[in-house]
Amino acid sequence: MRSWLVLSRPNVCREEQLTLVRLSRPCAQAFIDTIQFWKQGCSGPRWCVGYERRIRYYIIYRHVYATEHQTVFRCCPGWIQWDDEPGCFSSLSSLGTHFSGRECSYQDTRQCLCSQGFHGPHCQY
């Protein structure tokens, strides 16, 4: 419901909050592998198969959780945002105020049903 609020708009305050974030961290893992190779001098001048153990490495990613400070913008105390207003123009003390004889709904939509000829968030125009 809220549009993007920015600090330069009326009655918008900056708030710092802690947020839990998941980060992927690289981690090297080692494992022992047996490899097959051809070697000389087995019995005569012939080649034969030999086996050798070697250490191999690969990268895996582990999830680590950390808290980070994030800046969010909200309406300052005592103010609300109506519809898609660019700021927080409506005072909480004006809730229920209507100009054209109509009641306002403050549930999910927070809109007034204006009489014919009136418009605006509080039917004030």
Q: How confident is the model at residue 106 (pLDDT cuts 50, 70, 90)?
A: low
Averaged pLDDT for residues 15-35: 92
**Mean pLDDT over all residues of the chain?**
77
Domain boundaries defined on the chain = 15-74
pLDDT range class, residue 78, cuts 50, 70, 90: confident
Residue 59 reports pLDDT greater than 70: yes
Tell whether the model's pLDDT for residue 27 goes beyond 80.
Answer: yes
- Taking the C-alpha atoms of residue 21 and residue 63, their distance in angstroms, rounded to an integer, is 10
50 to each of 34, 35, 44, 47, 54, how far by Cα in Å? Answer: 10, 8, 15, 9, 13
Choose the weakest-confidence range: 18-22, 55-59, 62-66, 80-84. 80-84
